[in-house]
């Protein structure tokens, strides 16, 4: 179930019709941001008013898709509450262009004589050669299946590959 927090932009009390007769389906319709939500209730919560800050858990009707306030399954109370302060706003003070300029300046000031260690590329032929010999040795029972023995054999097979097929 989605949750929305914010200021109530408008609130309609639909407990009575235009002629003053009680409605068969009393409700309060209100809007937060761009979401219109209906609270199906006979009594209005004291904090529910225009410009009030609230947090609401709502669902959507399967029949017509309209949003409604969800009720707690145990207490049967609507999941709506007043907020004491405005919901936190996202930080918009961050400017990516300024950060990029700052990083470029730091990169210029940085010592460019550093050597960067790179990993050698994966050699598929060496891998296939090593794994084929290792598998064959394990299946024949000539190689014990311990970490130390397998590590030693892998190093031996890699060396053997480099000596015979290395560039």
66 token code pair: 């309209």
What is the full per-residue pLDDT of the chain (167 aa) written as tens digits? 788 888 899 998 888 888 888 888 889 999 998 889 999 888 888 888 898 899 898 888 888 888 888 888 898 888 888 887 766 677 777 788 888 888 888 877 776 555 666 677 778 999 999 999 999 999 998 888 899 999 999 999 999 998 988 76
Tokens 């319709």 — which residue?
29
Domain that residue 30 falls in: 3-82
Assess if residue 143 is contained within a domain: yes
Taking the CA atoms of 67, 73, 77 and 83 in sequence, report the sign of the dihedral they define: negative
Taking the CA atoms of 104, 106, 110 and 116 in sequence, report the sign of the dihedral they define: negative
Measure CA 52 to chain center.
Answer: 29
Question: How many Cα neighbours within 13 Å face the side chain of 142?
Answer: 7
Assess if residue 89 is contained within a domain: no
**Burial group, residue 102, by CB count within 10 angstroms (0-12, 13-18, 19+):** exposed
Residues in a beta bridge with 67: 37, 60
Assess if residue 102 is contained within a domain: no
The reported pTM is 0.48
Assess if residue 118 is contained within a domain: no
Assess if residue 65 is contained within a domain: yes
Question: In total, how many domains does the chain have?
Answer: 2
Q: Final residue of a domain: which of 82, 102, 133?
A: 82
């Amino acid at each position: 179930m989605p949750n929305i927090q914010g200021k109530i932009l408008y609130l309609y009390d639909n407990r009575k019709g235009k002629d003053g007769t009680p409605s068969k389906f009393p409700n309060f319709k209100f809007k937060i941001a761009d979401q219109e939500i209906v609270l199906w209730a006979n009594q209005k919560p004291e904090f529910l008013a225009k410009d009030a800050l609230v947090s609401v858990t709502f669902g959507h009707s399967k029949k017509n898709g309209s949003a409604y306030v969800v009720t707690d399954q145990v207490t049967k109370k609507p999941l709506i509450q007043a907020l004491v302060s405005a919901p936190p706003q996202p930080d918009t003070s961050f400017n990516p262009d300024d950060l990029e300029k700052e990083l470029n300046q730091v990169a210029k000031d940085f010592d460019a004589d550093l050597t960067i260690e790179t990993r050698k590329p994966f050699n598929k032929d060496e891998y296939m050669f090593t794994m084929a010999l290792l598998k064959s040795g394990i299946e024949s029972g000539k190689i014990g299946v311990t970490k130390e023995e397998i590590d030693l054999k892998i190093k031996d097979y890699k060396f053997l590959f480099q000596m015979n097929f290395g560039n």
